[in-house]
Amino acid sequence: MKYELDQAQELSAQIAQAIRDGIMEGSLIVDQRLPSESDLCEQFQVSRPTVREALKRLAAQNLIRTQRGASGGAFVNRLSFEDAYGQQITTSTLLLSMNAVSFETACEARFALERACVALAAQRRTPDQLAAMRAEIHRQSQPGLSDESFCASDVAFHRALVDAAGNPVMSYQLAGAVEAIEPLMNMITFTARKREKIVELHTLIADALEGRDAATTEAVLGQLAEHTLELAREVARMRSKSA
Partner DNA sequence: AAAAATTAATTGTCAGACATTTGAAGAAAT
Partner DNA sequence: ATTTCTTCAAATGTCTGACAATTAATTTTT
Is residue 243 part of the contact set for DNA (CB under 7 A)?
Answer: no
CB proximity list for 98: less than 8 A, separation 6 or greater: none
Residue 71 touches which of DNA, a copy of itself, none (CB < 5 to 8 A by kind)? DNA
Residue whose C-alpha is closest to residue 65's, from 33, 106, 29, 18 = 33
Q: Rule CB under 8 A: which of 173-202 touch a copy of itself?
A: 173-174, 176-177
User: Does 49 help bind a copy of itself (rule: CB under 8 A)?
Assistant: yes
Residue closer to DNA (CB basis): 61 or 93: 61
SS (H, E, C) 67-80: ECCCCCEEEECCCC
Contact letters for a copy of itself, residues 66-95 (x by CB under 8 A): ------------xxxx--x--xx-xxxxxx
| DSSP string across the chain | ------SSS-HHHHHHHHHHHHHHHTSS-TTPBPPPHHHHHHHHT--HHHHHHHHHHHHHTTSEEEE-STT-EEEE----HHHHHHHHHHHHHHHHHHTT--HHHHHHHHHHHHHHHHHHHHHH--HHHHHHHHHHHHHHTSTT--HHHHHHHHHHHHHHHHHTT--HHHHHHHHHHHHHTHHHHHTS---HHHHHHHHHHHHHHHHHHHTT-HHHHHHHHHHHHHHHHHHHHHHHHHHHHH-
- Min. distance of Cβ 71 from DNA in angstroms? 4
User: Pattern 4-43, binding to DNA, x per CB under 7 A?
Assistant: ------xxx---------------------x-xxx-----
Q: Is 242 in the site for DNA (CB under 7 A)?
A: no
Site membership for a copy of itself, residue 116 (CB under 8 A): yes
Q: Which lies closer to a copy of itself via its Cβ, residue 152 or residue 177? A: 177
Nearer to a copy of itself, 120 or 188 (CB): 120
Per-residue binding letters, 42-61, with DNA (x by CB under 7 A): ---xxxxxx-xx-x------
Binding site for a copy of itself (CB under 8 A): 12-13, 16, 20, 23-24, 26, 30, 49, 52-54, 56-61, 63, 78-81, 84, 87-88, 90-99, 101, 105-106, 108-109, 112-113, 115-117, 119-120, 165, 167-170, 172-174, 176-177
Binding site for DNA (CB under 7 A): 10-12, 34, 36-38, 45-50, 52-53, 55, 66-74
